[in-house]
Amino acid sequence: MSRFRRIDDYRWELPRAGAMRVPGLVYATERMLPKFEAEKVAEQVANVAALPGIVRYSLAMPDAHWGYGMPVGGVAATSAEDGVISPGAVGYDISCGVRLLRSDLKAAEVKAVLPKLMDTLFKTVPSGVGSEGPFRLSQPELRKVFAQGARWAVAKGYGERADLEAVEDGGALAEADPERPSPRAVERGQNQLGTLGSGNHFLELQEVVEVYEPGTAAVFGLFPGQLTVLIHTGSRGCGYQICDDFLRSMQSAARKYNISLPDRQLCCAPFASPEGRAYLGAMGAAANFARANRQAITHLTRQAFLRAVGRDLGLRVVYDVAHNLCQVEEHEVAGRMRRLCVHRKGATRAFPAGRPELPEAYRAVGQPVLVPGSMGTASYVLVGTETAMQETWGTTAHGAGRMMSRHQALKQIQGQALFNQLKRLGIEVRTDSFRGLAEEAPFAYKDVSEVVAACHGAGISRKVARMRPIGVVKG
């Protein structure tokens, strides 16, 4: 029997039980729900609901799936006054996120040079397991990256000032403390700036194939047929190390502050405690590394375009948004404004029109929300809504969400066969690992259109445009 109680077509409540301090609230269609049940999403939503100081609900977005600690697609807001901050509710790939670039061209105009362009991108943007970037940084220089994020990259000439206007927080999270990351975190980050990494990280060339809200799309600079570039990566090794370091220190902090949780991966400390502040500073440093990383990749992408196409295609940043992060935000709770730590793990901020955090250019329409799909299907641009602000702390889905293990995917298709299949669909893939490609096969993911339809139907974001991939650099 389902543990979920139906609220409406898209909302399902997980009633309080056991150690839960608040109920769970899951956004899904009825068709998606059995997967949430069969997997451990319900259990993980319940575990998150036990975090001290959690406010209103433990949330799961329509792309939620079994993770560790918090489900991927989970959201939890805790009080900044008397709640906790949890590294496990952010994850290892701190500030993993997506950046969308738009061009002045139609995708059809690069069709003839697409193979050459993909080869150049593959050579220029390092990808794959253990890949190293072209920017080897000294320790003091990396500390500057931790402090300044994408602003560091632009100051070094790896981008334009206008790029920063379209990055969350103007490219740098103010809470970052560049001295917090351990020497090992520094070592892991020193040669990884400007790298995609592996797994589900990618760089895609896409074509805008459908526009649902022409007015909003125009504000975002998007038009039908347009060539766009989507970059998905995060803070790489330094983020993993920061999470690991703080999970260790939070294990003892949880004992010190007498916090008992059903899952040790969710270990935490009071937000206002020295341990909590230290994590916030280190997490901010990793977030800034991730922003600098996506900025550096933007620079490399522009160079590759220039080399392959022979001219500047006017690549501009539409938006850069993280989907693994804890952000301190002001939200209305029971009629009064409160400072909350909003943990989003595999979930995207989706602020509506009018929020001061948004770039001025988007303040009248709301935040662009970037939802990548699997490499053979589609990606979406959505826009944040007031409903999201009221219900989900201004949050929506972050992608298609996996539904099949890597092992299962490998059993169903070989990398070379998938490569050929995608080529027949008009998608040029470049990868150094056919095995990795097969593990990320499109059928291993939920249908991104169904996820997006659930977000749109629930009103926690609205569809603006859909893109289809035409070229993929797979990490």
Partner 1 sequence: MKPGFRILPHTSEMGLELKAPDWASFYRCAAEGLLAVYGARLEGRGRARLSWSFRGGSPEDVLVAWLNELVFLVGTKRFRLSGLEVLQAAPDGLRVRILGERRRRLPLEREIKAATYHGLKVRALRSGLTARLILDV
Interface with partner 1, residue 251, by CB under 8 A: yes
Nearer residue to partner 1 within complex by CB, 390 or 433: 433
- Rule CB under 8 A: choose which of 65, 102, 398, 468 binds partner 1: 65
Our finding on whether 92 is near partner 1 (CB under 8 A) is yes
Q: Which member of 99, 144, 188, 398 binds partner 1 (CB under 8 A)?
A: 188
Cα–Cα distances (Å) from 336 to 82, 330, 331, 351, 390, in that order, read: 16, 10, 8, 18, 12
Q: Is 72 in the site for partner 1 (CB under 8 A)?
A: yes
Give Rg (Cα) of the chain: 21
Contact between 441 and partner 1 by CB under 8 A: the answer reads no
Query: Rounded to an integer, what distance in angstroms lies between the CA atom of residue 121 and that of residue 139?
Result: 28
Integer Cα distance of 36 and 51 in angstroms: 21
- Residue 237 in contact with partner 1, rule: CB under 8 A: yes
Give the closest residue to 201 by CA, choosing from 232, 226, 176. Answer: 232
Q: Is 405 in the site for partner 1 (CB under 8 A)?
A: yes
Q: Which stretch binds partner 1 (CB under 8 A): 68-76, 116-124, 292-300, 319-327?
A: 68-76
Selected binder of partner 1 within 127, 148, 198, 288 (CB under 8 A): 198
Question: Is-catalytic flag, 331?
Answer: no
From candidates 68, 212, 223, 434, binder to partner 1 by CB under 8 A: 68
Tell me which of 62, 83, 91, 352 binds partner 1, using CB under 8 A. 91
CA quadruple 168, 172, 174, 178: dihedral sign = positive
Q: Which of residues 146-185 bind partner 1 (CB under 8 A)?
A: 184
Cβ closer to partner 1: 183 or 356? 183
Q: Which of 23, 134, 170, 199 binds partner 1 (CB under 8 A)?
A: 199
Q: Which of residues 275-334 bind partner 1 (CB under 8 A)?
A: none
Decide: is 404 part of the binding site for partner 1 (CB under 8 A): yes
Kindly state whether residue 69 participates in binding partner 1, applying the rule CB under 8 A: yes
CA distance 473 to 475: 7
Q: Which is nearer to partner 1, 106 or 406 (CB)?
A: 406
Kindly indicate which of the ranges 76-84, 87-95, 101-109, 327-335 contains the residues binding partner 1, using the contact rule CB under 8 A: 87-95
CB distance 385 to 351 below 8 Å: no
Cα–Cα distance, 96 to 90 (Å, whole number)? 10
Q: DSSP states of 255-316 as a string?
A: HHTT---S-GGG--EETTSHHHHHHHHHHHHHHHHHHHHHHHHHHHHHHHHHHHHSS----E
Q: What order do you get walking across the sheet with 24-27 strand by strand? A: 5-6, 11-14, 24-27, 54-68, 70-79, 336-345, 324-333
Contact (CB, 8 A) for 66 and 36: no
- Apex CA 69: angle with CA 292 and CA 34, to 5°? 110
Stretch (H or E) spanning 435: helix 434-439
Binding-site member from 243, 254, 365, 472 for partner 1 (CB under 8 A): 243
Q: Of 148-156, 194-202, 212-220, 419-427, which part binds partner 1 (CB under 8 A)?
A: 194-202
Q: How far apart are the first and last CA of the chain?
A: 41
Alpha-carbon torsion angle 311, 317, 318, 319, nearest 10? 160
Q: Is 264 in the site for partner 1 (CB under 8 A)?
A: yes
Provide the minimum distance between the beta carbon of 272 and partner 1 in the complex, in angstroms, as a whole number: 24
402 is an interface residue for partner 1 by CB under 8 A = yes
Verify binding: residue 339, partner 1, rule CB under 8 A: no
Q: How far is the CB of 99 from partner 1 (least distance, A)?
A: 20
Total of residues contacting partner 1 (CB under 8 A) = 42
Determine which residue in the list 130, 214, 225, 314 makes contact with partner 1, applying CB under 8 A. Answer: 130
Q: Is 408 in the site for partner 1 (CB under 8 A)?
A: yes
- Are 219 and 359 in contact by the 8 Å Cβ rule? The answer is no
Please tell me which residue in 65, 299, 398, 456 is annotated as part of the active site.
398
Show contacts with partner 1 in window 342-381 (CB under 8 A).
none
Angle subtended at Cα 290 by Cα 357 and Cα 338, rounded to the nearest 5 degrees: 35
Q: What is the dihedral angle through the alpha carbons of 160, 110, 225, 198, rounded to the nearest 10 degrees?
A: -60
Distance from C-alpha of 350 to C-alpha of 383, rounded to nearest angstrom: 7
Whose Cβ is closer to partner 1: residue 184's or residue 277's?
Answer: 184
Interacting residues of 140 by C-beta distance below 8 A, sequence separation 6+: none
Name the residue nearer to partner 1 (CB basis): 88 or 149. Answer: 88
- Interatomic CA distance for residues 55 and 340, integer angstroms: 8
440 binds partner 1 (CB under 8 A): no
Among 11, 16, 21, 39, binds partner 1 (CB under 8 A): 39
Interaction site with partner 1 (CB under 8 A): 39, 65-69, 72, 88, 91-93, 129-130, 184, 187-188, 197-199, 237, 240-241, 243-244, 247-248, 251, 263-265, 267, 402-408, 433, 435-436, 439
Residues annotated as part of the active site: 398
